[in-house]
Structure 1
Amino acid sequence: MASSKPKLVPVVGSELPAQFTAKAVGRANAIELITVTVKVRAKNDKGSADGLHALAMQAVKNRSHVSREEFGAAHGADPADLKKVEDYARACNLNVVESCTAKRRVVLAGKVSDFESAFGVTLERFEHPGGTFRSYTSSVHVPPDLEPIVEAVLGLSNRPAAKPHFQARRRANPLAGMFASADAPQPLTPLQVAQLYDFPTGLDGSGQSIAIIELGGGFTMADLNAYFTGLGLPTPSVSAVSVLGASNTPVNDPNSADGEVMLDIEVAGAVAPQSKIVVYFAPNTTQGFVTAITNAAHDTVNAPSVISISWGGPESTWRASERTAMTNAIRDAGLMGVTVTVASGDNGSADGLTDRRSHVDFPASSPFALACGGTRLEGTLASISEEVVWNDGPNSATGGGVSDSFPQPAYQKNAHVPKSVNPGHFAGRGVPDVAGNADPESGYEVRVDGLNTVIGGTSAVAPLWAGLIALLNQSLGKPVGFLNPLLYSQIATGGGLHDVTVGNNGSFKAGKGWDPCTGLGSPDGAKILSLLGGTNGAATVSHDGASKKAAAAGAAVG
């Protein structure tokens, strides 16, 4: 009976985000069938928002992680909490598709009208440049006994969640050659970048699996085979995993998300050619994004030890509960020994918004992400001649700044992170943590949809660091996992990073030590490995030999 339905209360953080300007154009189709994911808080988090945060930090200190098989019992949801969600859903005429302790989620299916009633929302259609999406302008509501255990409700909205962070190199003016400076930056292959950053030699990623999250686009093996043959490398093992019905769907346009997908695979694959690369294709929604990270972290078949993410959006465009669900998914990955590298954005300190405030990109601003900023890199063979902050203008510059949502994590306490420049001057998490070559002018030679081209952006830095971490894990014989606390202590103090001190990204200037443009700096790969207790080693396919050959030959691609 309708009168027996409990009074609903808001889910904390589910209110409309600060940046939401879409115009409603009508009600959503009441009989449309949709799928919704209810994320349930970990049992260890009850009563303390930082319950698992301390455990993640301890895992770093002890270099110990929980196995995927053990995670559910150690840090998953309480089965009783899952059952409460299931019982309520069934009472609201919704079907339970999945209930998982380890992944802390209950997946539901049903009609829009039944979800509206169950969660106390009105679902509408909104206009955006690519068409329309479904969303709501209120908070999500649940019964009072569910409010303490529900972390987020994802999927009521299918608003596009993120954009890829890559930029193509500007096509040169045909007349510019006679006037061009001899010092102008030149494109590089991933192998040349790896050599300039002294990535460990004699290692090729054997035995490692790299997960790549994609929210659109696709790849073809013909392009990958041509590209890696041009580099003198074997084509890595590359496979696609479907998430929520999305799939490997190249659209044959190098300027589309295909450019992101191919850049990610080719950079990571060149650095660690014997690694297994698994691409998780998900819908471009918060539900798809969080589900892809969760599925990759818990994948017992492919067992990735690093996840690379080159998609994101301004922190203020996310509902707080969505940010919580995402950052806790990344935290869970760290507890299982999985490093998550994330691009920090390509639109400078404003992150593409026009409200005259500074914004950091999310999920790079998650305190459990290894946020990757961008530089312009110049050098010859194994010698860096110059490295400065990437800034070719307000919408072609590395992202970075100070979070207005996440407090400063313990590992940044001695990094002299300034307070936010925005009103309120929040003492937030500083972004990025590290950097790497990203300027499209010194960008990466890649192959996309049959075309040899040059692409930059912080999108390239996330897979570059992911490839490096695969090499580190190969040498060490175990995953480095959540790397940030070690970066800010023994790696930075031990000289494992090149401090970038020249340039700005808009509101912020580079300087000695950590800064909101390039973080702690770009990698000295061999030094990082040494500081972590590893050594270079002999590999079946020598990355060192291939990189020297490619560097000396100029590395023509394809």
Structure 2
Amino acid sequence: MQSSERGADTPILGSERKAVPGARHVGPADLDERILVTMVLRRRSSATLAQAVAKLSDVPLAKRRHMSREEFAAAHGVAADDLKMVEDFAKDHGLTVERVNSAAGTVGLSGTTTSFNEAFGVELAMYEHPDFKYRGHTGAIHIPAPLSDIVVAVLGLDNRPQTKPHFRIHHGEVVETRALAAQTSYTPPEVAQLYNFPENITCNDQCIGIIELGGGYHLDALQEYFSSLGVPTPTISSVSVDGATNQPTGDANGPDGEVDLDIEVAASVAPGAKIVVYFAPNTDAGFLNAITTAMHDTTNKPSVLSISWGGAESTWTEQAMQAMNSAFQDAAALGVTVCCASGDDGSADSVDDGEVHVDFPASSPYVLACGGTRLTASNGTILSEVVWNDGSTGGASGGGVSAVFPLPSWQSNANVPPSANPGGHVGRGVPDVAGDADPDTGYQVLVDGQTLAIGGTSAVAPLWAGLIAIANHTLGHPVGFLNPILYGLPSADGAFHDITSGNNDVNGTDGAYQARPGWDACTGLGSPNGTKLVNLLRSAGSTT
């Protein structure tokens, strides 16, 4: 049944989809296939939660109080009456409630394609793209009017690949360890040393969560890698989300490269930290459910989350971005720091329309967006550091101005420029911080038994996640929503290496954003002086 035949139904704001550019419609989806869809509902006291998180921007670190996951669920879970209405709706349309995450505000529904077509006023079809096939819809998703104030989003009807990993292999080649020595590449601990991370720290009271939307790892290979570094192998476990599991592909150029890179960087720069990998399908629903699973994980309780997958804001639906942004707001309330790669395709972010774009989820104001540099060093000392921009491959640090999220109060004095696009929109500036990302000065890692030098902002997110785990351990409490604190640090305090040379122009965006003293839309506040930053946070944490 289409929406035109369901007069009382209401379209969900921001749920409209178009076919993926280059994909062709090949016919209706299998009407008897059973699929899983996620509904996102409003939660109790959502306004109170938003106000509490907003106040964190003005609360010194020493005076912050983060909610426990149990407290959060009790205060902000879905109201019983709202859940009952959704359950009745599902029953009326032959759908089954598979799971309820009240704290996250999500309900998983299963049913046939026919049932979902009728329930949400869509016509699911199959599409073929040169690189993949997917099930999708065009136009908006509709719900009955009585649910319009309850249902925030419906995700998973369309299962197109939503994101890509942000890593790049040096020259795209597998190399031998001996050859790496001749390149300007580093082990993760060497990068940490160059950035003056605190040493002789054992983060055995910390858990780093890592989001992965494909691929997998081999534990024996990771043990071999950590042994080669002289680092104890951390406790590593995986959590399955929406049926996705730890499934190595055997292709180092595929998602395995992302998974191993993230684990190896985070765990080797924050020795002793427990690593939990949340595997989910690469869809908008899968991504959201991975984040909410990690945020509200009462077993592992990660204190920091590393995300190295993303896509240009223009490739997302508004409902998906807002649902994920709400999940990141939960993280702020819970004291979980979320580190996101800002993208590897410069200010264009892989969108070939002559305009500039930023990557999501890095553009969420509740995450720490991590950009990229080219780091040159000798004998343990940094010789130079500039914006990562490899014109030969098109790889460059993602950054710019969000077209979706407004300028946060804590960026008001950062001199974030208007967007370089026509109209000069004022919005959230990306990235916040930076680190080594150029594949030519990349990280020596082991993927599927092969030694590689890998770069990309994918390496920067777990690098910063490791540093934050160290800070959490050192301070004895989580730093949580770190952005307001970082932007409040005087530049003279030396917490950052200010990057003042280079730009992130690719694909004819005409050098839209240039490095400059202070914050810029290529490398944010700069790369870290880890010990100095942790000491400054410690000072803030001891303020009375």
Bucket of the pairwise TM-score, normalised by the shorter protein: over 0.9
| SS of structure 2 residue aligned to 1:300 | coil
Q: Which runs of 4+ in 1 moved over 4 A?
A: 17-21, 48-53, 58-61, 171-174
Output the CA distance in 2 between the equivalents of 1:529 and 1:443: 24
Could you tell me which residue of structure 1 aligns to residue 266 of structure 2?
268
Distance 1:18 1:419, change over 3 A: farther
2:430 aligned with 1:431, yes or no? yes
| CA distance in 2: counterparts of 1:86 and 1:247, whole angstroms | 28
Gapped regions of structure 1 (runs ≥ 5): 175-181, 536-558
TM-score by length of 1: 0.90
Given that 1:195 and 1:381 are in contact with CA atoms closer than 8 Å, whether structure 2 keeps it comes out as no
Partner letter of residue 43 of structure 1?
A: R
- The reply to whether residue 533 of structure 1 matches residue 538 of structure 2 is yes
Report the CA distance shift for 1:49/1:337 in structure 2 as closer, same or farther (over 3 A): closer
Deviations 1:156-210 (A, max 9, x none): 1111010000000016999xxxxxxx9x970011011000100012212221000
**Alpha-carbon offset, residue 215 of structure 1:** 0.5
CA contact (8 A) 1:192 1:381 kept: no
Aligned residue type for 2:444: E
Residues 1:492 and 1:13: Cα distance change in structure 2 (over 3 Å) = farther
Give SS of 2:171's match.
Answer: coil
Q: Structure 1's 359 and 150: CA in aligned 2 closer, same or farther, altered over 3 A?
A: same
Does the 8 Å contact 2:328/2:367 carry over to 1? yes
Which residue of 2 is the match for residue 230 of structure 1?
228
Find out whether 1:147 has 2:148 as its counterpart.
Answer: yes
Give the equivalent residue in structure 2 for 1:71: 72
Q: Distance in 2 between matches of 1:120 and 1:172?
A: 48
Question: What secondary structure, in the 3-state scheme, does the structure 1 residue paired with 2:403 have?
Answer: strand
**% same residue:** 54
One of 293, 304, 307 as aligned partner of 1:306: 304
User: 1:86 deviation in Å?
Assistant: 1.6
Contact 1:17 1:318 in 2 (8 A): no
Work out the CA distance in 2 between the residues paired with 1:185 and 1:397: 19
| Equivalent pair of 2:174/2:452 in contact (CA under 8 Å) | no
Counterparts of 1:532 and 1:379 in 2: how far apart (Å)? 27
Partner residue of 1:451?
A: 450
SS state of the match for residue 202, structure 1?
A: coil
CA contact (8 A) 2:433 2:525 kept: yes
Asked if structure 2 preserves the Cα contact closer than 8 Å seen for 1:6 and 1:143, the reply is: no
* Count of equivalent residues: 526
1:424 alignment partner, SS class = coil
1:360 maps onto 2:365 in alignment:
no
Work out the CA distance in 2 between the residues paired with 1:497 and 1:9.
49
Letter in 2 for 1:494: D
Q: What is the correspondence of 1:409-428 to structure 2 with a 5 Å cutoff?
A: 409-428=408-427
* Equivalent-residue separation in structure 2 for 1:12 and 1:490 (angstroms): 38
CA contact (8 A) 1:491 1:497 kept: no
Residues 368/12 of structure 1: CA separation in 2 closer, same or farther (3 Å cut): same
1:382: Cα distance to partner? 3.5
**Candidates 510, 520, 523, aligned match of 1:518:** 523
The 1:338–1:172 alpha-carbon spacing in structure 2 relative to 1, beyond 3 Å, is closer
Q: Distance in 1 between matches of 2:397 and 2:215?
A: 23
Match of 1:206 in 2: 204
Q: Distance in 1 between the 2:227 and 2:376 partners?
A: 25
CA shift digits 1:505-533 (9 cap, x unpaired): 01211001110000000011111111111
Are the equivalent residues in 1 in contact too, given 2:433–2:524 (CA < 8 A)? yes
User: For residue 434 of structure 1, what is the amino acid of its counterpart?
Assistant: V
Q: Deviations over 1:32-75 (max 9, x none)?
A: 101111011233336x9955652554677532111001112223
1:44/1:52 contact within 8 Å kept: no
Gap change, CA 1:53 and 1:336, over 3 Å in 2? closer
What root-mean-square deviation, in Å, do the aligned CA atoms of Structure 1 and Structure 2 show? Answer: 2.5
Q: How far does the alpha carbon of each residue in 1:345-388 deviate from its partner, in whole angstroms, 9 at most, with x for none?
A: 00111011110000101100111110000001111243211000
The one-letter code sitting in structure 2 at the alignment partner of 1:242 is S
Alpha-carbon contact 1:242-1:280 (below 8 Å) kept:
yes
